[in-house]
A and B are shown apart, each in its own frame.
Chain A
């Protein structure tokens, strides 16, 4: 993969294109929950930031399904 970087997604090392945005990562890893929680280096990412927020080498991303049961 040209211009690839390594990041950690849900605890696993993954190789992704450099400058990948969150939106692209959600599509790439087929995350389908409409209320998905995205954590980027320990911080919550707002949905409106998905198309513009990009990852850098060594970043940590967590995709978390929300808990909405009571």
Chain B
């Protein structure tokens, strides 16, 4: 049962027939992992807390640096040098004290399975392929839906990955024993915002069983040309991870 304060706070989204008070209660009972608190994760955390997700588990191991502030709008100059999870917990609690924040100082590669335990959904907001693989392995193993997102300069990608039903990360990007060359990836704030907003929209749709999820498609945005495109995907029958599901 929503309190009068919750009804007022979420009034504009409760107006949506796909949400209503029942949907808002569903969100309040949900636990979502935001893996990574960089460009994608910091904005996703704000959107999910503002939307009324009951519990947000946020995980990162880095501290806030000056070069984060062009896109990681969760943080302020006063946060430079602080652990991202601490700064995030303060800001998110300030935004919505009804949202329970579980801040975890963790390397996603090492802790993916523990991080996903008890979560209804994970937002993949990490910034490297090994962490994405670890997250995907844990999501497939635990049967947790994952909303994948990635950015590079003016480009962003979003895809919903539901274990056993849609392609997983490994289906599309199989481990081939090759290491990607290390390079600093360009990141523009609004492109991170756009991509994170799409991820959060998909996450909320999944939690609410609303609309048509972005499954069997990889949505790509090219902000330099103002174009969106989607590529049809499917499960990979040769996937080393999920073919047997």
Question: Would you call A35 and B129 a contact (CB within 8 A)?
Answer: yes
B211 CB to nearest chain A CB (Å): 22
Contact with A along B176-211 (1 / 0, CB 8 A): 101110000111000000000000000000000000
Count of A-B contacts judged by CB separation below 8 Å: 75
What mask results when residues 41 to 70 of chain A are scored 1 for a CB within 8 Å of chain B, else 0? 011101110000000000000001111111
B157 touches A67 (CB 8 A): yes
Interface size on B, residues (CB 8 A): 38
Q: Is A23 an interface residue (CB 8 A)?
A: no
CA distance A41 to B218 in the complex (A): 14
- Given A47-B176, A65-B152, decide whether A70 and B231 contact each other with a Cβ distance below 8 A: no
B180 A34 Cβ-Cβ under 8 A: yes
Chain A min CB distance to B215 (Å)? 13
In the complex, which of the residues A44, A46, A48, A65 contacts B231, with contact meaning CB atoms closer than 8 Å? A44
Chain A residue total in the interface (Cβ 8 A): 17
Give the residue among A64, A68, A70 with the most B Cβ atoms within 10 A: A70
> B185 touches which one: A37, A48, A64, A68 (CB < 8 A)?
A68
- Give the residue of B38, B127, B232 whose beta carbon is less than 8 angstroms from that of A68: B127
Residue from the list B127, B172, B231 in contact with A43, Cβ < 8 A = B231
Q: Which chain A residue shows the least CB distance to B217?
A: A44
Interface string of A10-26 (1 = CB under 8 A from B): 00000000000000000
A70 and B232 contact, CB distance less than 8 A: no
Chain B proximity of A43: nearest CB distance (Å):
5
Question: Counting CB contacts under 8 A, is B96 at the interface?
Answer: no
Tell me if B132 is interfacial: C-beta within 8 Å of chain A.
Answer: yes
Q: Provide the bound-state CA to CA distance between A54 and B172, in Å.
A: 19
CA of A42 to CA of B180, assembled, Å? 26
Q: A35-B129, A43-B231 are in contact. Are A69 and B180 (CB under 8 A)?
A: no
Hey, what's the 0/1 contact readout for B224-244 against A, CB within 8 Å counting as 1? 000000011110101000000
Q: Which residues of A contact B150 (CB under 8 A)?
A: 66-70
Q: Which residue of A lies closest to B195 (CB)?
A: A67
Inter-chain contact B232/A42, CB cutoff 8 Å:
yes
Listed in ascending order, the chain A residues whose CB lies under 8 Å from chain B are 34-35, 37, 39, 42-44, 46-48, 64-70
A selection of 22 A-B contacts at a CB cut-off of 8 Å is: A35-B129, A44-B167, A44-B232, A46-B171, A48-B174, A48-B238, A64-B220, A67-B150, A67-B152, A67-B157, A67-B220, A68-B127, A68-B150, A68-B185, A69-B152, A69-B186, A69-B187, A70-B36, A70-B40, A70-B41, A70-B127, A70-B150
Beyond the given pairs A67-B151, A70-B128, A70-B150, 17 more chain A to chain B contacts, judged by CB atoms under 8 angstroms and listed by A's residue number, are A34-B178, A37-B231, A42-B231, A43-B231, A43-B232, A44-B232, A46-B174, A46-B236, A46-B238, A47-B176, A48-B174, A66-B173, A68-B127, A68-B129, A69-B150, A69-B187, A70-B125
